[in-house]
Amino acid sequence: MQSALANIALGLVTSLLGGGFVWLWERAKHSRAENRRAAFFGVRPGENCLIVVGNKYNSPGTAHQRDVRAVVELTLLAGELGCGVSVETGDFRGGNGDRTEFCVGGPLGGSNLRTGGHLAAHLPGVVIHPYNGTHPDSVAYEVGGEKFLFDRGHQEYAVVAKFTPAESVAPVFLVAGQSSMANLAAIHFLRREYRQVARQLSSVERFCVLVKVSDIGTYAFHRATLERDVTAAAFGG
């Protein structure tokens, strides 16, 4: 009888220990995954992020509905990683200091002036062609001598870059789409597929990639893919 009770007790202890080890292993695995996600986006759990969102094209003081949705996606991301957020418009001036900055929207039409400043200061190899009616280069992005044309409502691109200004201790995460659709598509894509993108990069500390959004008429912002890594050409090195 005592032997049977001892065997039962031993079995219970073994089960408890095994369950505990599994729980600890799963917790550590989840923690490692969250740390990798935080590292990719450049955020530090427990600290605050700054989201800078542009105006609707040629409409100062008005944010496009899709850019508002992009801000919501970034806010959810920050919350999942234990960060608070504050939101500013593209007229914001000054350094991001110790706050990771998510800057959303291209500079054309005065949409996000801060994006234009970031591009000029840190990404000299990225050229954004101005709006020019029906000209094929209108709103095209050019990196390393290659043009990525803007086909509104069909196929569009977003430049996504991460860098740390010399005067700051936290990075800027820049999402500059050819339209608000491209902004939202890039953010939605990166929230889900950051691991895939990270594997293509030599470093997650500083990079620049192009995200392509296709078949917009059917899939809206849901069909986005990594077009290519343009880090060397974008940063001029």
Nearest to residue 158, comparing CAs of 214, 209, 88, 102?
209
Pair 47, 83: CB distance under 8 Å:
yes
Q: Quote the Cα angle for 178-125-93, to 5°.
A: 70
DSSP 107: -
Nearest to 188 by CA among 163, 160, 207, 208: 160
Shared domain check, 7 and 100: no
If one counts every other C-beta atom within 10 angstroms of the C-beta of residue 52, the result is 25
Full-model pTM: 0.85
141 shares its domain with 206:
yes
Measure the CA–CA gap between 117 and 123, rounded to whole angstroms: 10
Give the pLDDT score at 21.
47
**Shared domain check, 68 and 34:** no
- Residues 9 and 80 reside in one and the same domain: no
Long-range contacts of the stretch 116-121 (C-beta < 8 A, 24+): 118/161, 118/172, 118/174, 119/174, 119/176, 121/165
The backbone torsions φ and ψ at residue 75, rounded to the nearest 5 degrees and listed phi first, read -65, -40
Residue 14: the pLDDT is 65
- CATH number at 197 reads 3.30.379.10
Clarify whether residues 111 and 148 are in a common domain.
Answer: yes
Question: Could you tell me if 100 and 63 lie in one domain?
Answer: yes
Which pLDDT score, from 0 to 100, does residue 32 have?
Answer: 73
Residue 79 three-state SS: helix
User: Are 143 and 165 within one domain?
Assistant: yes
pLDDT at 24: 45
Task: Enumerate residue ranges in the chain where pLDDT < 70.
Answer: 1-31, 57-60, 237
Segments forming the whole domain that contains residue 214: 44-234
Same domain, 63 and 172: yes
pLDDT at 134: 81
Same domain? 81 vs 151 = yes
